[in-house]
Amino acid sequence: MVFEIVKPEEIEKRSMEIITSELNGRTWPEPQFSVVKRCIHTSADFDYADNLVFSEDAARIGVEALRNGAHIVTDTKMAASGINKKKLLSYGGEVHCFISDDDVVQAAKERGCTRATICMEKGAEIAKDHPVIFAIGNAPTALVRLAELIKNGEVKPALVIGAPVGFVNVVESKELIMECDVPFIVPKGRKGGSNIAATICNSMLYFKD
């Protein structure tokens, strides 16, 4: 067995070279291509070359929103922890995850709904003062509630990253958000997850023209 010797600071660069090579000449306009490659890099899953769906110019819209101080609202602590908060703060943005807030827990219990549902409502309040990117990596119910808020005119996200993972209502919730009149990036089907939601955010934060 022979291992390739790669310096630590060159591992990501080498990984991206391998990904680009194994895409066999397939490319996307930037910054969309960077999003695709980073999702593959995070997951080692080339299905993301086919299942990532972008509304028109969504990746560019996301990059510009972040550079203009957009905040990010996510449904999981895992996604929140994976987003480069220092880079985001350099543009004036913050990451918000309300899933464990006492008022969210109490409201979800009283209303008989998921905490992720309430999180989207709190995110909509932030969107009254700041551009907001909603990055959903776990809960289909978050996407369903967000779609309701959008259609009711209660929130206008700068971008929706709809990447819940699993088997129950996942596919349907993604289809629902893609019917809304907002920019979106969605991995169609069952795949996704908090790591993918965070990766999409970071790919836009790291993008260099």
Q: Which residues contact 14 (CB under 8 A, 6 or more apart)?
A: 4, 6
Q: Is residue 41 among the annotated active site residues? A: yes
Is residue 62 within 8 Å of 131, Cβ to Cβ?
no
Which residue in 41, 71, 96, 130 is the catalytic one?
41
User: Which tokens go with 195?
Assistant: 């790591």
The C-alpha atoms of residue 136 and residue 184 are separated, in whole angstroms, by: 11
Give the containing element (helix H, strand E) for 128. none
Is residue 198 within 8 Å of 183, Cβ to Cβ?
no
The C-alpha atoms of residue 133 and residue 95 are separated, in whole angstroms, by: 10
Q: Mind telling me the catalytic residues?
A: 41
